Amino acid sequence: MTLAERARQVIPGGVNSGQRSIPGLTGLVITRTEGSRFWDAEGREFTDYHAAFGPPLLGHNDPDVAAATAEAGRSLGLTGVAVTEGEVLLAEQLVELIPSVEQVLLTSTGSEATFHALRLARAVTGRRLVVKFQGCYHGWHDAVSLNVISAPDRVGRHDPTSTGILPEVLDATLVLRFNDPAGVRQAFAEHGADIAAVIVEPVPHNVGALLPTDEFLRTLREECTRAGSVLVFDEVITGFRHALGGYQSIAGVTPDLTTLGKAIANGAPLGALGGRADLMQHFSSRPGGPVFFAGTYNGHPATVGAALATLRKLREEPVHEHVFRLGDRVRTELDALYRRLGVPAVVTGYGSVFVSYFMPGPAPLTYDDLLANDTALFVGYRRNLVDHGIFELPLNLKRSHISYAHTDDDVDRLLAATEAAVTRTLREGGPADLAHTSTMGGAATRKAAR
Catalytic residues: 137, 234, 262
The DSSP bridge pattern shows strands 30-34 and 346-350 to be: unpaired
End-to-end CA distance of the chain: 44
CA distances from 210 to 17, 26, 164, 407 (A): 25, 30, 30, 26
Asked whether 332 and 319 are in contact (CB, 8 A), the reply is no
| Distances from the Cα of 324 to the Cα of 255, 283, 311, 403, angstroms | 25, 37, 17, 10
Burial class (CB in 10 A: 0-12, 13-18, 19+), 225: exposed
Phi/psi for 177 (5° steps) reads -80, 135
Task: Name the 3-class secondary structure at 425.
Answer: helix
Could you give the CA distance from residue 421 to residue 367 in angstroms, rounded to a whole number? 26
Check if the beta carbon of residue 200 is closer than 8 Å to that of residue 136.
Answer: yes
What gap in Å lies between CA 19 and CA 391, rounded to an integer?
A: 15
- 156: enclosing H helix or E strand: none
Please give the angle made by the CA atoms of 201, 114 and 50, to the nearest 5 degrees: 55
Closest by CA to 17, choosing from 50, 49, 44, 45, is 50
Q: Running DSSP on this structure, what letter comes out for residue 150?
A: -
> Is the four-CA dihedral 383, 388, 389, 391 of positive or negative sign?
negative
Closest C-alpha to 301, from 101, 59, 96, 68: 68
Q: 34: exposed, middle or buried (C-beta count within 10 Å: 0-12, 13-18, 19+)?
A: middle
